[in-house]
Chain A
Amino acid sequence: HPVNIPRREKDFQGMLEYKKEDELKLVKNLILELKPRGVAVNLIPGLPAYILFMCLRHADYLNDDQKVRSLLTSVINSIKKILKKRGDDFETVSFWLANTCRFLHCLKQYSGDEQFMKYNTPKQNDHCLSNFDLAEYRQVLSDLAIQIYQQLIKCMENILQPMIVSGMLEHETIQGVSGVKPTGLRKRTSSIADEGTYTLDSILRQLSSFHATMCQHGTDPELIKQVVKQQFYIIGAVTLNNLLLRKDMCSWSKGMQIRYNVSQLEEWLRDKNLMVCGAKETLEPLIQAAQLLQVKKKTDEDAEAICSMCNTLTTAQIVKVLNLYTPVNAFEERVSVTFIRTIQNRLRDRKESPQLLLDTKTIYPVTFPFSPSSLALETIQIPSSLSLGFLTRV
């Protein structure tokens, strides 16, 4: 019997050999039928990307351009296909965004381009592609990653959207601040909202769930920052738009409630070490609108203070909030027309769009900063759960 001498790690070159006729099985098992909640949960982050890249390396090693082209086309088409099929599932989209980016980083890290080899170990440099320059395919993968990112934002927005108005505006977590006479029974505590309504906690839990999923998939930290910034933009824009359209939301107590909710969101950012990703800044218009609800609105000094404070709100938005402002009790007066005129005069030189509402469909441009991996390809083992027995470690 041939003695099966277990080969030591160092004998492997970090490639995976496969037969041309197995290419379809490869993309079927590794892409089309892989369940992010199934076997994929136990994989090292980015494993599918590394496996696909190791197969690509072997096709390059054979100097077989047809095999390289065919594999890349199959991989890209399969990822697009799975996202067409399950593009409304956040986990699936997040999983393939992370793996598409990892695959793109591998193509750069092992391209042989000096600029992408700075952090490589000598062994990793030995593993660079030897025959083909895949710069054009990198561009196609980058285009695909942008499409997947936008799909992820849409997925996430569909989940977050129903929570925002209820959680950020309607649900009151600060007891009694609305000045409503407490009824005989103690008001419900903040965390138990009426059936079916969302609270601020619902939003925070959902943000944590998104964040945990992306981390589990090995999403680049720089990309997670961009996703979180986009999430906060959507929360801030939807909340402000509703405040600008609803008289019942423009009161001193609502201003207090909104500032409390924003502070909880900022706490969440701090907790996730995401204070510098630009997310907090996207809430600035909402913060200023909440402050506007709480400051005095009578004298010229008040007008001066408001004009210098509300530098991220348009004149139309400031005027709208002042018009909608509803005194919380009989002792307080409404904002006078004269005062609003004063504000408009002070702001008439501003060069700004007359638009009132923020565009909640705005998606910030996404970038995928190069993120090399320290993982040594020759050490990668393929779990049997992936049913890829037809691949041979080389």
Chain B
Amino acid sequence: RPLPRPRILLKAPTLAEMEEMNLFEDEDSP
């Protein structure tokens, strides 16, 4: 059985950085 291809490590932003990437308008943001 062929060896499985190594998986590509996806670099992850931190929780705080993700917050910046907010994908929708934050209705309740002031």
Contacts and interface: CB of A to CB of B under 8 A. Distances in A.
Contact of A133 (B7, B14, B24, B26): B7
Interface string B17-29: 0110111101010
Contacts of B10: 65, 68-69, 132-134, 136-137
Contacts of B21: 73, 77
Contacts of B12: 72, 134, 136-137, 139-140
Interface stretch (A78-86, A156-164, A260-268, A322-330): A78-86
Given A85-B28, A140-B14, A65 B8 contact: yes
Contacts of A112: 4, 7
A74 interface: yes
SS class, residues of chain B in contact with chain A: loop
A84 B28 contact: yes
A131 B22 CA distance: 26
B1 interface: no
A299 B18 CA distance: 65
A144 interface: yes
B17 to A, nearest CB: 9
A30 interface: no
Interface of A: 23-24, 65, 68-70, 72-74, 76-77, 80-81, 84-85, 112, 129-137, 139-140, 143-144, 147
Interface of B: 4-15, 18-19, 21-24, 26, 28
Given A130-B4, A132-B9, A132-B10, 15 more contacts: A24-B24, A70-B23, A72-B12, A73-B13, A73-B23, A76-B18, A77-B22, A77-B23, A132-B7, A133-B6, A136-B9, A139-B12, A140-B12, A140-B15, A143-B15
